[in-house]
Amino acid sequence: MGFTLCFLLVGSVYLLRTRPDAFIKTMPIFISALIVFVMGVVDDFRDLRARTKFIGQCVASLIPVLFGFQFTQFGPIHLGFVGKIITFVWFVGLTNALNLIDGIDALCGLISLSILLTLAAILQLRGSSDYTALLFILSAAVLGFLVYNKPKAKIFMGDGGSQFLGFMIAAFPLFKDAPKLDYNMFPMVVVLVSIPILDTFAAMWRRTRESRSFFSPDKAHLHHKLLNMGYTPLSILGLLVVIQVGLCVISLIVMLWIDGLRGSLVLFVALLAMIIFFSVIHYTSHAIKRVKKDGVTP
């Protein structure tokens, strides 16, 4: 809770003192993020119905889209109105994805911090620096939180914090003033958030296959599968953070030095590698579960 309010306060003061016009432009994002945060906090204490929370997320995600925040290109393809639909789904999806990945101490915080710093570097070095300070302010707030969230954690992020981070990470790529960033921005951020996004897609497929509600909880997320394979929470944290840093490095290289279709190809290969990683973990964990169920020593 603390890092969220800290960011909103410091970020607002910074923009008001340096760029009042940017503060006005950012207000739809701040208001929407606050809605997401408040609903998450209420859920932490009062256990909101999942459908109610989802409706609140949809309302919050619709606000920035109506105020013109959207992805405009997917590689050489100009998205037009379709970009608004993609952006809406992007906000709702990433808000939930960061929440679902928050199952190991410091995992959500470290993944978020890596993504925020990568976006800050890209925006700064490619000529879209007006909102870079906001990324550094949120990064500093998350870093302060991680001091007390590292294993074994003294404080926890909760739904309010994780969903707020997901919403803000979804929003920051839309603060871009340099046209050169548009070409590969969408595929780049998909690669950046591929760990939580692929985990969410896997959860949706799993619940559809089992004829369960999308909102029903389970213990078959990526970190649960790694635990089942014998990894400790600390080793899971190390593994996933190393992979996330690798994704950040690839994204930086593409956005700074590899333009056009060549950059798109590199990003596609990176995403394909992540899909293969998730598939290997899924089938390995499934095989271990079957061995345990059959009572056979592996």
Domain ranges of the chain: 2-294
pLDDT of residue 177: 59
CA–CA gap between residue 131 and residue 264 (Å, rounded): 25
Report residues of the chain scoring pLDDT below 50.
297-298
Angle, vertex CA 86, rays to CA 270 and CA 97, nearest 5: 60
* DSSP secondary structure letters along 57-72: HHHHHHHHHHTT----
pLDDT of residue 127: 67
CA–CA gap between residue 3 and residue 238 (Å, rounded): 23
**Cβ atoms of 266 and 254 closer than 8 Å:** yes
DSSP state of 172: G
CA–CA gap between residue 198 and residue 228 (Å, rounded): 19
pLDDT of residue 221: 92
Cα→Cα distances 82→60, 71, 86, 91, 285, Å: 19, 9, 6, 14, 38
**Cβ atoms of 243 and 277 closer than 8 Å:** yes
pLDDT of residue 232: 94
Taking residue 249's Cβ as centre, other Cβ atoms within 10 Å add up to: 12
Angle, vertex CA 157, rays to CA 53 and CA 146, nearest 5: 155
pLDDT of residue 172: 93
77: which strand partners?
74
pLDDT tens, 19-70?
Answer: 888 889 999 999 999 999 999 999 888 888 888 899 999 999 999 999 999 9
Phi-psi region of 169 (alpha: psi -120 to 50; beta: other; left: phi over 0): alpha
CB-based contacts of 277: which residues, under 8 Å, 6+ apart? 243
pLDDT of residue 183: 87
**Cβ atoms of 261 and 131 closer than 8 Å:** no
pLDDT of residue 214: 74
pLDDT of residue 298: 46
Q: Where are the beta strands (DSSP E) in the chain?
A: 73-74, 77-78
> Which token pair is 262?
């060549």
CA–CA gap between residue 237 and residue 223 (Å, rounded): 9
Place of tokens 């990894």: 231
pLDDT of residue 70: 92
pLDDT of residue 88: 97
Radius of gyration of the chain (CA): 19
CA–CA gap between residue 153 and residue 169 (Å, rounded): 23
pLDDT tens, 191-225?
Answer: 999 999 999 999 888 888 887 877 777 788 999 99
